[in-house]
Structure 1
Amino acid sequence: MKALIFDGQLTLQQVPDPVPKKGEALIRVRYSSICNTDLEIIQGYMGYKGILGHEFAGEVVSKESKFFGKDVVGEINIACGKCYLCKTGRKTHCINRTVMGIFEHPGCFAGYIVLPEANLHVIPANVDMPTAALTEPLAAALEIFEQTKIKPTDNVFIFGAGKLGLLIAQVFRLSGCEYTLYDINPWKVEFAKGLGLSAALPEAIGADQKAEICVDCTGNPKGIETALSHLYPCGKLILKTTVANPAKLNLNKIVMNEFNIIGSRCGVFEPALSLLSQKLIDVEPMITKVFPFDELVEAFQFAAQPDTIKALIRH
């Protein structure tokens, strides 16, 4: 099969088809999506080398699998199921885990992938594959609501109107919270408004204006500083994107104001698929361009542009 390999540079190469073990399924990838994490990996994040990609939708083609013939999406963390964290309900933090396309497990920018059947979820019949390919980031957005209690009376500031910030804003809109999505890029602010979201440039925030919850989706230390400066005492700062470079934080300010800082990453797929099936979350306008598989290297260049929301790959 053909796959996108990163070994210091991005190249499409012919590699052997993967072979599923017992309890695993072979999946023909139909659509995949480029994530910010993919862009960070090719800049050296995680030190990963191999087949990239972790957002996908595909069809199970291994006849031995109970999912044979089904269209599926897959959770990216491959857990051992035996360690302390797995046994206490924290499989996404499994001590022995691998992570598809990120850490010691081949990714989905390929003709086929192999995943444990336990990781698979059937795509609802009324959800098309391009939409389903964005299940993983939507699940990550929903994880905020799994981790912390959100009240309808909470006011929320979301920083960073990229793909994840847009999804998080859509989820908060459903919650009934008063929220605003901020970004330094005027184009992204207008794009968010086009989705019917409350959005503005950061300079629109008054110096003394604060929120009960701030969500950082910038992946930038300055974004985190901005979020902290607009948080009420005892408020919650949710860090939703990785910051590849070291960040300095004023710990005294955090302690004195009793801020709650919450790291947040992967989420549960079933609620995400349900929202997509009910048409409560709209991802279609976020797909800036669909590339054929053979143009994956060019798609990475496109995905890195500031006016790109989401680059999708048709396999």
Structure 2
Amino acid sequence: MTRGSTARSVLIEEPGRHRLVTGPPAEPGPGEVRVAVRAAGICASDREVYEGTRAPGYVRYPIVPGHEWAGTIEAVGEGVDPSLIGRGTVAEGFRACGMCERCRTGQTSLCTAGYEETGFTRPGAFADTVVVPARLLHPLPDGVDLSAAALLEPAAVVAAAVLAAPPSPGERVAVVGAGTLGLLAVQFLAASSPGELLAIDPRKRPLEQAAAFGATATVTPDAANALHGRYDLVIETAGAPTTARDATLLARRGGRVVLTGMPEAGAVGIDPVHLSVSQLTVSSVFGATPAAWSYAVRAFGGGLLRPADLITHQLPLESFGEAIELVGSGDPEVGKVLLTP
């Protein structure tokens, strides 16, 4: 929340260097709203921003990070309905132009006008307040848990994957990786009545969570080698060096694979001969479209998603450094880490 006439934000001035800054809260311009942030999640891409390993062109320093968030609208700019004040909300991160060919087809995350995203090139939500275009808002039902709603950004990414290769009841489905994206994927997919729902991860605790969310089987990556060629649909969420390749090997001939993880340079490539011979359909997801956001918000409001169960740590803005270390610690007991202004 704002403190009188001032607001705080975490500013990464350059890789490895951050500070907490205080100043007047930004005023929303025409078509914009200012949101009091309730909670903002930290993910691996935020750590990349802090460490300076995010791909060139996809971050602009100095930057206030924070692209996974939820809060309450507290002020509106010219042309925005004032009845929105007081509403809980989330918002899309991509600042698409809305005019180019890709935007006109609904593929806003592929906007050809150039990459702009809250928390990477525009001030984000590791702050008391964040200002965003009202056209990007997805207001939430009254009374929802706003801390849990901070996970609707990764949920929207998973929703985009499910929309890209929609599951059918009775299919054999596998999820590679049981981090935040993977566990949200298990929840989405369990609602589609799969005949089999497998979760793959090297860590014990995430696999236990996956089983609680509806996975019918859980295995480690080594054990998954015996299951190659079995699954109608495979959703990859880990972004580890071998997981894109592994996902294609798990798919049956004629199966579908959706890649959502973001591997770093040097990851193992996918065998083109295997793709051709197996006639696989491979899709990838970068961000989420408005349709995917709407799907995720509806699923959350309807109780199909339980993102609150993924949260293990909630820290104040002052503890940003500690939160970043937690996310990169590799500790299997660390789930979703939130900053709570």
Q: How high is the TM-score relative to the length of structure 1?
A: 0.93
CA distance, structure 2, for counterparts of residue 111 and residue 74 of structure 1: 16
Structure 2 match to 1:39: 47
Which structure 2 segments of 5+ residues have no match? 1-6
Q: 1:109 to 1:87 in 2, by over 3 A?
A: same
CA distance, structure 2, for counterparts of residue 78 and residue 90 of structure 1: 12
- The answer (yes or no) to whether the contact 1:291–1:313 under 8 Å persists in 2 is yes
For 2:27, the aligned partner's letter is: V
Quick one: which of 65, 73, 83 aligns to 1:60? 73
Structure 2 match to 1:230: 250
CA distance, structure 1, for counterparts of residue 229 and residue 138 of structure 2: 42
CA distance, structure 2, for counterparts of residue 209 and residue 147 of structure 1: 20
- Per-residue deviation, residues 33-82 of structure 1 (Å, max 9, x unmatched): 11222123333113423111101111222244322222211110111122
- Per-residue deviation, residues 123-166 of structure 1 (Å, max 9, x unmatched): 11131111111111111111123222322132111111101000
Paired residue secondary structure (1:51): coil
- The answer (yes or no) to whether the contact 2:229–2:252 under 8 Å persists in 1 is no
Structure 2 match to 1:186: 204
The answer to whether structure 1 residue 210 and structure 2 residue 227 are counterparts is: no
Q: How many residue pairs are counted as aligned between the two chains?
A: 314
Which structure 1 segments of 5+ residues have no match? none
For 1:273, the aligned partner's letter is: V
CA distance, structure 2, for counterparts of residue 207 and residue 271 of structure 1: 31
CA distance, structure 2, for counterparts of residue 15 and residue 252 of structure 1: 56
Q: State how 1:242-257 maps to structure 2 within 5 Å.
A: 242-247=262-267, 248-257=269-278
Q: State how 1:243-282 maps to structure 2 within 5 Å.
A: 243-247=263-267, 248-267=269-288, 268-282=292-306
CA distance, structure 2, for counterparts of residue 159 and residue 46 of structure 1: 24
* Sequence identity percentage: 24
Structure 2 match to 1:93: 110
Aligned CA-pair RMSD: 1.9
Structure 1 residue 191: Cα displacement: 3.2
Structure 1 match to 2:157: 140
Structure 2 match to 1:9: 16
Structure 1 residue 117: Cα displacement: 0.5
- Per-residue deviation, residues 6-27 of structure 1 (Å, max 9, x unmatched): 2111423315533322111122
- The answer (yes or no) to whether the contact 1:4–1:10 under 8 Å persists in 2 is no
CA distance, structure 2, for counterparts of residue 192 and residue 208 of structure 1: 20
Q: 1:63 to 1:264 in 2, by over 3 A?
A: closer
Range 262-271 or range 106-115, more displaced: 262-271
